[in-house]
Amino acid sequence: MATNTQRIDNIESSVEQVFVGYNINNRFGLQLNLPVIYRSFQRPRGSVIDSGTEFGIGDVSLIGNFLVYQKLQEDFTFNWSVLGGIKFPTGDSSRLNEPDVDSVPPLPASGIGGHDLALGSGSYDGVVGTGLSARWNKLFFSANLQYAIRSEGDFGHQYANDLTWSGGPGVYLALNHNDTLALQAVVSGETKGKDTFNNVPDGDSAETIVYAGPQISFTWSSKVSAQVGLDLPVSIDNSGVQLVPDYRARAAITWRF
């Protein structure tokens, strides 16, 4: 959920990521990600309060993962991998053609535009990144970095390139051959510049946000893993009248077969 200081704008967003992966060998694998997005919103528009919902699939991505280096010992492990792929324009981008949202005083200006509600970008985008993890006895550290390279999409709109990252130390509360339970302190963030409309910068779209929060991870045998995390913003720098998050909640379940 995200709101501005006048508490009229409101948008609640939920993204379910369905993914299917296949390991070609012990170093290289492919993963297809399908986001299913639900958004409900309320915003000033003209002299009234406009509200509604958006639901559907987002932009599908195909990502390749390559294990660059791995070291496995009883009391120490280290993994370093890189990734690269492409995002396809499968989500509904019609909201990008929405005119600017103006309000009539005394209602405040709205921070929710069409680019906040669109399910897709209408563009083919590149994705590159890297990740590493290290463990010594029951202590561990993991970090991930991903960079999205955007191209111009539908209606002359182009989302800015964005960098996302996360990482932090943790401890295994349980660690054996059959299952694990881990608690991690995660610092994460994202930074992006201004979107453009027909090469004209959108002044209300750049942001840099840093989050911090706990994450709990569980694995059972080699088939099932689960993860739950909470991200609370500790630093927000945005460029104009726009929405910023109150918090983010994450949950994931993976089944390997």
User: What does the block give as tokens for 109?
Assistant: 């200006």
**Yes or no: domain 2-255 corresponds to CATH 1.10.238:** no
Give the pairing type, strands 196-197 and 157-158: antiparallel
Answer whether the bond into residue 169 is a cis peptide, omega within 30°.
Answer: no
Percent pLDDT > 90 in the chain is: 75
Q: Within a 13 Å sphere around the CA of 230, how many CA atoms are in the beta-carbon half?
A: 5
In the DSSP assignment, the letter for residue 137 is T
76-134 residue pLDDT tens: 999 999 999 999 999 999 999 988 777 778 787 787 888 999 999 999 999 999 999 99
Q: What is the pLDDT of residue 1?
A: 35
